[in-house]
Amino acid sequence: MFGKGLVRARHVSVTLALAVSLALCAGAVPAAARDDGDGPAGPVDIGSGRSVALDCRGSGSPTVVLVSGARGASDEWTHVADAARPQAGPKPGPSAVLPQLARFTRVCAYDRPGTTRLDGTPNRSTPVTPPTTAAAGVADLRAVLAAAGEHPPYVLVGASWGAMIASLFARTEPARTAGLVTVDGASPFLRDTLTPAQWSAWMDKVRAMDTGQGLETPDYPAAVRELRGAPAPPPGLPAVVLTSDHPWDLQVGGGSTWPAWLAAQRRLAEELRARHVTHTDSGHGIAVERPGLVVGAIRDVVEQVRAGQER
């Protein structure tokens, strides 16, 4: 949700708001429609006149579910950055997270309402009125996976704002959750580690993102309340927290926000009892900057889940 230059142009104004500013529909297919490796299955009807675009590939269990950052569509997981030409922006490639995961397990990514694709075009999901909460994101994710016939258990992978949704899903759907990975994920502890002035200024900046055009605008205060009111993470849940190590800043409230970000990441890892990977050689957009690292972390969790299933 907050990319920094390397993620995408739209994240400079959206996803960069948590990174540098917040750094950063077509007809529905039948609910049973699935794709076993050739690309997106298309929009899935989730009822109430709404559809959500879903891209599922590969086979095997557990199914990995990729949850993008704010205003990030599913192609956030199919593109990689060229370190030699960062100004060119991410490009699709076989080394990206989603196609690599599809080599060894089932994997799904989806377009939340109000997100846009890397080329700036709207996604194929039915729009909703912003702002959105983590609980609303969980409800949509639950609905689209069920409607598409995707079977638990799931390993949830959340980048930036998507980590709030993935974390709440893990807490409220423990029977369906097998593991959790956060990719420089937004942490509810940021409410505590930022100064009051920084938090207030950041919330003002996020609210200003809602320009009445239907683009996704996260409601962070509501999401923090939802997470703090939810059950504790399932004991023994395999989890990895990936944290950027190339400093970036929210540029709000005076003073650097980088120390607060790192402190919030540490507290998140402690709460989840997660393996905390802090040497990532990456900015906020770890998935496009270091896709192999993200795939490796997810593979570790998948293997832990499979080992537990065999016992």
Per-residue pLDDT of 126-136, as tens digits, reads 989 999 999 99
User: Which of 220, 223, 269, 221 lies closest to 243 in space, CA to CA?
Assistant: 269
* pLDDT band per the 50, 70, 90 thresholds, residue 119: confident
pLDDT at 11: 38
Q: Which residues contact 212 (CB under 8 A, 6 or more apart)?
A: none
Distance of CA 202 to the CA centre of its chain: 20
| Range of weakest confidence among 54-68, 81-95, 141-155, 161-175 | 81-95
Is 3 among the domain residues? no
At 174, which CATH number? 3.40.50.1820
Q: Which residues contact 47 (CB under 8 A, 6 or more apart)?
A: 143, 147
* pLDDT band per the 50, 70, 90 thresholds, residue 120: confident
Is 1 among the domain residues? no
Range of the domain at 69: 9-310
pLDDT at 254: 85
> Looking at residue 59, what DSSP letter applies?
-
Q: Quick one: tokens of 35?
A: 């794709």
pLDDT at 87: 74
- The count of structural domains within the chain is 1
> Looking at residue 62, what DSSP letter applies?
S
- Looking at the DSSP bridge assignments, the partners of residue 72 are 116
SS3 193: helix
Is 2 among the domain residues? no
Per-residue pLDDT of 10-47, as tens digits, reads 333 233 333 333 333 322 332 333 344 434 458 999 99
Neighbours of 49 (CB within 10 A): 9
Going by DSSP bridges, is the β-strand pair 79-80/91-92 parallel, antiparallel, or unpaired? Answer: antiparallel
pLDDT at 269: 98
